[in-house]
């Protein structure tokens, strides 16, 4: 008995999978291109990859470096380099961890929080413009399906 590739038992899904793969590929290319612009809106010298770190810190308020790395699935040295860059730009700051004085937590500075909020407002306005002709039901469905896709990615890790 031969083993089938995952999903091979549903060949009727193949056209939809091909359409989805193409649409996501185009979307990701556009998102990567836009990420440089978004990063420059936060700070002209910020690397695009650091934007996600700022969002995480905004959500969590303060985190240890190891927790940040684990949360985003990137190695600690890469995250450390990004944090140093963000600290040098005045967007994040380190504090002694109140639970363990040997460790440090990282949080947004007031300047970092303000720059991030301005950028988020501009991005929301862009989405409002792009999606102006969409029905509310479509927006809710898209948000729900993208959340489900992100959850599938998280489970696959």
Q: In the predicted model, is pLDDT for residue 2 greater than 60? A: no
Mean pLDDT across the chain: 88
pLDDT, position 1: 47
Q: List Cα–Cα distances, 73 to 34, 79, 91, in angstroms.
A: 22, 10, 22
Identify the structural domains of the chain with CATH numbers, from first to last: 15-156 (1.10.10.10)
**Radius of gyration of the chain from Cα atoms?**
19
pLDDT tens-digit series, residues 79-124? 999 999 999 999 999 998 778 778 899 999 999 999 999 999 988 8
pTM of the model: 0.72
pLDDT digits (tens, 9 = 90+) for 122-146: 888 888 998 999 999 999 999 999 9
């Amino acid at each position: 008995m031969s083993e089938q590739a995952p999903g091979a038992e549903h060949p009727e899904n193949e056209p939809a999978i091909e359409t989805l793969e193409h649409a996501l590929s185009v979307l990701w290319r556009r998102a990567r291109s836009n990420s440089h612009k978004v990063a420059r809106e936060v700070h002209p010298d910020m690397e695009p990859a650091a934007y996600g770190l700022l969002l995480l810190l905004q959500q969590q308020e303060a985190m240890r470096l190891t927790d940040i790395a684990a949360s985003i699935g990137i190695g600690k040295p890469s995250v450390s380099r990004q944090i140093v860059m963000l600290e040098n730009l005045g967007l994040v700051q380190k504090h002694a961890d109140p639970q363990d004085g040997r460790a440090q937590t990282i949080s947004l500075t007031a300047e970092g929080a303000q720059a991030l909020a301005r950028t988020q407002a501009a991005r929301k306005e862009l989405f409002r413009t792009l999606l102006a002709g969409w029905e509310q039901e479509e927006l809710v469905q898209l948000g729900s399906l993208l959340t489900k896709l992100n959850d599938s990615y998280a489970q696959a890790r």
